[in-house]
Amino acid sequence: MLNVTNLTVEIRENKQSYEVLSDISLSVEKNQTLGLVGESGCGKSMIASSIMGLLRKNKRITAGSIYLDDTDLTKYSEKEYEQIRGTKLSMIFQDSMASLNPLIKIGKQIEEAYKIHYKLTKSELKNKVNNSLADVGFKNTPNTINNIDNIINKYPHNLSGGQRQRVMIAIAIACNPQYLIADEPTTALDVTTQNKILNLIKNIQEKNNMGIIFISHDITVINNLCTHIGVMYAGKIVEYGKTYDIIKDPKHPYTKALIQSIPNTDNKNKPLTAIDGFVPALNERKNSECIFYDRCKDRTDKCKAEIKDVQIDNNRKVSCTLYY
């Protein structure tokens, strides 16, 4: 099980520290998919980097733990992390163009993923690369433009966005990871390609029994794919539970607003509900009141005090004064 408890991360800028993640708790088991949803800037990618041990420079974990089975990864050195990245934990990044090396051919980049963890002969490597490209839907039909032999010799910029995303998936799952973090893997893609990629991730999960953390700002995608949801707002998880429960009966005013902003063909003539205002910037966040206060339709004076997490029923949590 991958289990994050009370994780707090700070960013230091201009000699000031800001809490970018506050008291994050979540967990995912094999075969489960936890969706993290929330507006841009709420800290979704920061959770991913924290779990992957990729916080750099001005960011650091100041409290909490990240347990992978029995080990606390917050205690890991970079060397120890290198041992588990790819095999136990793996990640598909938000921006395929930025994460693939533009100067190295696709085949070589996939080879690298295997070479870090396995000692293989040249022909074994070639086989692995071919199989992994086949696993993500590339065909080995001779004389076609995008057959595997062809793709192997291309550079990232020669591929379409969807093809690049499939290559990223091939790299991420090369060494059969137990847990995969997919950070907005389909945001830049058209809906048809998006669905193909999502189905691909689902199929791989079924085959490998992976646990997945799936990050998206699109609650419709999360609803289709995930067994559990964590709704994030300004560095906090404000609601957490099973997908079915949350979509059927959202509790937090922010979750309600997110669900109401989904376009719905039944009320075509009604305007879409947008949530007024913006996520507060790091230097505007106060821990002394509800983080959603300024934008909340249901706010009362009670929300001006520090907010507690409430356990509603088994494994459902919400941070809102409406429930205590």
Ligand X SMILES: Nc1ncnc2c1ncn2[C@@H]1O[C@H](COP(=O)(O)OP(=O)(O)OP(=O)(O)O)[C@@H](O)[C@H]1O
Nearer to ligand X, 93 or 114 (CB): 93
Residue type, 282: L
Cα separation, 290 vs 89, whole angstroms: 33
Residue 103 · residue 154 · CB < 8 Å: no
Binding of ligand X by 182 (CB under 6 A): no
Q: Answer yes or no whether residue 165 interacts with Mg ion by CB under 5 A.
A: no
Q: Which does 176 bind (CB under 5 to 8 A by kind): ligand X, Mg ion, none?
A: none
280 binds ligand X (CB under 6 A): no
Closest CA to 289 of 279, 278, 280, 302: 302
The one-letter amino acid code at 297 reads K
By beta-carbon proximity to ligand X, the closer residue of 40 and 121 is: 40
Please provide the size of the chain in residues. 324
What number of chain residues touch Mg ion (CB under 5 A)?
2
| Interface residue with ligand X, options 34, 84, 221, 282 (CB under 6 A) | 282
First-to-final CA distance of the chain: 31
The listed partner (ligand X, Mg ion, none) that binds 1, CB under 5 to 8 Å by sort, is none
130 belongs to the binding site for Mg ion (CB under 5 A): no
One-letter amino acid of 53: G
DSSP secondary-structure letter at 95? -
Q: Which is nearer to ligand X, 265 or 283 (CB)?
A: 283
Query: Is 161 near ligand X (CB under 6 A)?
Result: no
**Six token digits for residue 170:** 């091939």
Pick the closer one to Mg ion by CB: 44 or 251: 44
Using the CB atoms, write b or e for 86-105: b if 16+ within 10 Å.
bebbbbbbbebeebbeeeeb
Contact letters for ligand X, residues 41-80 (x by CB under 6 A) = xxxxxx----------------------------------
Residue 123 touches which member of Mg ion, ligand X, none, C-beta under 5-8 Å by kind: none
CB of 223 to ligand X, least distance (A): 17
CA gap 61, 76 in Å, rounded: 12
Name every residue whose Cβ is closer than 8 Å to that of residue 55 and which is 6 or more positions away in sequence: 9, 46, 49, 61
What residues between 10 and 69 interact with Mg ion by CB under 5 A? 44-45
Using CB under 6 A as the binding rule, the residues of this chain from 200 to 259 that contact ligand X are 217
Under the rule (CB under 5 A), what is the footprint of Mg ion?
44-45
Interface ranges with ligand X (CB under 6 A): 11, 13, 20, 38, 40-46, 94, 217, 282
